[in-house]
Amino acid sequence: MILAALLLVHGDDPGMELLYFWAAVLLALTPLLIFGTIGALVLKKIWKEQRGTRNAERGTERPS
């Protein structure tokens, strides 16, 4: 309902349509970037812990 009212007020203004387009793109990308970053940090921590566990199982090895 509000969208219909906004379209009546603004008409066919290309500048406003471009603004709405970029606002929609920003709304779609923001959660992807946030959750993608959180996921990458969690995976990095998991891989780091697994590598530490593998090194602890082998024991400490001195370089030759």
pLDDT digits (tens, 9 = 90+) for 16-50: 889 999 999 999 999 999 999 999 999 999 999 99
pLDDT for res 10 = 57
pLDDT band per the 50, 70, 90 thresholds, residue 9: low
Listed by start position, the domains of the chain span 14-56
Of 9-18, 19-28, 54-63, minimum mean pLDDT range: 54-63
C-alpha distance from residue 21 to each of 15, 24, 55 (Å): 10, 5, 51
pLDDT for res 57 = 73
Amino acid letter for position 15: G
pLDDT for res 22 = 95
C-alpha distance from residue 30 to each of 10, 23, 25 (Å): 26, 11, 9
Amino acid letter for position 17: E
